[in-house]
Amino acid sequence: MAAKVALITGASAGIGRACADRLAAAGWIVVGASRRGTAGEGWSGIAMDVDDDRSVEEGVTQVVARQGRIDALIAAAGWGLAGSVEFTPIDEAKAQIETNFWGAVRAVQRVLPTMRAQRRGRLVLVSSIGGIVALPFQGYYSASKFALEGLAEALAYEVAPFGVDVTLVEPGNISTDFTANRRTAKTPDNNAYGDALDKAIALMERDEANGPPPTTVAAAVEKVLTSRRPPRRISVGKADERIGLLAKRLLPFRLFEAAARSSLGVESHRSSP
């Protein structure tokens, strides 16, 4: 049987690269897409910018021309933006959504004609636990992932008749260069949120540094791709982070919010006017 073909966005580093390495080792034909066109051991790379319509169109066309098919898309391209909702400039917020949400949409739209023609395919969208439990001072990052969650649910209904499956992979804090590459929004000197922002992001960075490696996410992705009936969602990370997803579904929201504050590094008291 011919090897299956996987296209992975964000393959130059972090979760995307770990997925490329693991699938290539498992016998997949892997094409890793990134701005730099990075390749790895056992897999090829193409230059593809998920922020650009034409670049994605040309990249997917190139893969289909060379391989004749695409069996799986792993949409892993993304980055983080720190800052308060109030003071994050709109252009920076748009840039966050552009990559994390619209970048995935572009890739999905371009691979679907091939998957529909094949009458089979797997779409794996790398979301986040922050797409279920919102992260203070990373509101636009969470917004991009919340949007991806809703899109994937709708998409799954639409493409199921064509034999295409959709899965959201929701990592918690993972130890990758995502932490070092997180951007901080340009804010005014009198930013009222400064101390709270610094505390919340420092806590997040500590948890990321102590998180599991990206290979744990890659293992989950491979499990999804080899499953006869892939789940709609699969979370990856430490137990306490994953329990938070269940707690949000089961607890009254006030109780959940109170429990979440300390783990997210935000104060519960109201400041004086």
Tell me which long-range contacts 107-110 makes (C-beta under 8 A, separation of at least 24).
107/7, 107/9, 107/33, 107/50, 107/56, 107/60, 107/73, 107/75, 107/77, 108/73, 108/75, 108/155, 110/56, 110/57, 110/59, 110/60, 110/61
Q: Is 145 annotated in the active site? A: yes
The tokens describing 139, both together, are 């509101």
Strand partners, 264: none
Active-site hit among 4, 34, 140, 141: 141
Alpha helices in 160-238 (DSSP H): 194-209, 215-226
Active-site hit among 34, 44, 128, 145: 145
Give CA angle at 134 (133, 140), nearest 5°.
Answer: 145
Number of helices (H), then strands (E), belonging to the chain: the values are 9, 9
DSSP letter (8 states) at residue 137: T
Q: Is 44 annotated in the active site? A: no
Q: What Rg value do the Cα atoms of the chain yield, rounded?
A: 19
Active-site hit among 4, 12, 142, 235: 12
Q: Is 127 annotated in the active site? A: yes
Report the C-alpha gap between 150 and 167 in whole angstroms: 12
Closest alpha carbon to 25 in 7, 43, 6? 43
Q: Is 140 annotated in the active site? A: no
Active-site hit among 34, 84, 127, 142: 127
DSSP letter (8 states) at residue 130: G
Report the C-alpha gap between 180 and 128 in whole angstroms: 18
Q: Kindly list the catalytic residues.
A: 12, 127, 141, 145
